[in-house]
Structure 1
Amino acid sequence: MLAVFGAGIGAGAINAVVGSGTLITFPVLLATGLPPVTATVSNALGLIPGSISGAIGYRKELSGQSRRILKFCAGALVGGLTGATLLLALPATAFERIVPVLVGLALVLVVLQPWISRKLRHRRELNGESMRPDGGLLLFTGLTLASVYGGYFAAAQGIIYMSLMGMLLDDSMQRLNAIKNVLVAVVNAVAAVFFLFAAAFDWTAVVLLAVGSAVGGQIGAAAGRRLGPAVLRGIIVAVGTVAIVQLLLR
């Protein structure tokens, strides 16, 4: 119980700053003896308060973004529900091979994001185009597909969100991180509601993770909001690299 509670605090904190908190909680839940699908479902339910807590901690950075957030949340809701359905319909190992590839690609995009953004900005200036404040159909589609993955497993989901938004939105890393926290909260919540009626879960694990992640979310938001863009990008890459190694070795 102490291990699960501690994992919840760590996951809540790291989710608020970067994402990938599931890579902390999921192995701990498995170590307690829970089956993989039950652990995944319990994890999704338990981390909802942490996601909400992290989003609240970034409320200042959310100011002025309501229109695009509502649009992205619609895609996240559909994607999260689809991913949760796939979790119960497909074999537990269905995404194991593709997950490290997705995370690796997202990390490359995060590293190259400043260069890609400059190139895209220069191209738009030459063509006399302006960047859409919501990133257009390409970003909406990408975030929705990332939400399908998030509803299925959620490990490094936030890193994929950040890589997509960093390329297609002209905004600060902190404001994008605030959007990421909201999207993760929406995906976790819609998946959890589905799981309540369609899957088995462990209430003890859920409660321990819920309390721990809520505390961790506030800690992570307080620390993350003080980080500069380069530092935040470096943390994302470091956590993502650890995530890939863990996923490959599991």
Structure 2
Amino acid sequence: MPLLDIGLLIVAGFFAGLVGFVTGLASIVSYPALLAAGLPPVTANVTNTVAMVAVGVGALSNSTREVADTGPKLWRWVLASAAGGIVGAAILLGAPEGSFEAVVPFMVAFAALALLLQPRIRAFAGERDLPRTYMLSLFVVAIYGGYFGAGAGVIFLASALILTSETIWRATILKSFLLGIANLVAALGFAVFGPVHWGAAAAMAIGALAGGWCGPPVVKRIPPSILRVVIAVAGFGLAGWLWMR
């Protein structure tokens, strides 16, 4: 791989890691960068999943206490995310190409709308936690995360803010961690059965690790209401891009 492409992927990985932690839209940066480096779509997809594991690693290294404070329920959430990631990877490797693409823009747009309306939805639900529904949502979104993942972070975040009483600060950290789990188990499958471009994955992972590490302090300084609206608007933009491409 040419040095120019390696440099591009490292820089793109950093911004994907930072943007991915803050907004959940890492793939909108990383996936086009891999295509620009000359990778075919399927190879770019699986390589992106492998590289984006580094975002969760970087973010976790800078927010370990917040994740650990979640308590025993964290392990149930991890299992749901891991199971979904496995299913998503299997779909990508075994199903006809384009299986999810038709519904993806609507999924992302719905999640963005849910984020905008989150305070009203929580009030309508009586501010109750819905742990079983949240577990199911983690599993379903992790399937999508393992399959393709563009906008998966937005959907993870919307689920957490609507179905649990987590703050947007903690929900953002947990989103990065749990999506990282889904990516990790999918990446293990791709490492064995998928056409991963390891040079591109390594270059992008270097940048993504740094970007993920920078994410928690950035989010901590953004007012929650502004962060929620910014993520929702970015989600609508991604939905439009996915629908038009």
Root mean square deviation of aligned Cα: 1.4
**Cα gap change, 1:242/1:57 in structure 2, threshold over 3 Å: closer, same or farther?**
farther
Does the Cα contact within 8 Å between 1:69 and 1:179 map onto a contact in 2?
Answer: no
Contact preservation (8 Å) 1:79, 1:146: yes
Gaps spanning 5+ residues in structure 1: where? 123-130
Select the residue among 171, 179, 182 that pairs with 1:184.
Answer: 179
* 3-state SS of paired residue (1:91): coil
**Alpha-carbon distance in 1 for matches of 2:64, 2:120:** 29
26, 35, 40: which one aligns with 2:31: 26
Q: Which blocks of at least 5 consecutive residues in structure 2 are unaligned?
A: none
Q: 1:243 aligns to what?
A: 238
Whether the 8 Å contact between 1:36 and 1:92 is mirrored in structure 2 is no
Residue identity in the other structure for 1:25: S
Task: Select the residue among 143, 155, 158 that pairs with 1:160.
Answer: 155
Aligned residue for 2:211? 216
Aligned-pair identity (%): 29
> Which residue does 1:125 correspond to in 2?
none
Cα distance, 1:57 vs. partner? Answer: 2.4
Which of 53, 57, 63 is the equivalent residue of 2:58?
A: 53
Q: Name the SS for the 2:125 alignment partner.
A: helix
| CA deviation after TM superposition for structure 1 residue 63, in Å | 4.4
TM-score (norm 1): 0.92
What's the TM-score once normalised by structure 2's chain length? 0.93
**Which string of whole-angstrom CA distances, capped at 9 and with x for unpartnered residues, describes residues 154-195 of structure 1?**
111111011111111112111111111110110111001111
Mapping for residues 118-129 of structure 1, pairs under 5 Å: 118-121=123-126
Alignment of 1:66-85 (within 5 A): 66-85=71-90
Q: Alignment partner for residue 87 of structure 1, among 92, 99, 123?
A: 92
Aligned residues: 240
- Give the alignment of 1:9-20 within 5 angstroms: 9-20=14-25
Aligned partner of 1:171 among 166, 169, 193: 166
Q: Partners in 1 of 2:203 and 2:71 — Cα distance?
A: 32
Q: CA deviation at 1:66?
A: 2.6
Once the 2 structures are TM-superposed, how far is the Cα of residue 239 of structure 1 from its aligned partner?
1.9
Does structure 1 residue 196 correspond to structure 2 residue 191?
Answer: yes
Aligned to 1:136: 131
Q: Distance in 2 between matches of 1:52 and 1:235?
A: 24
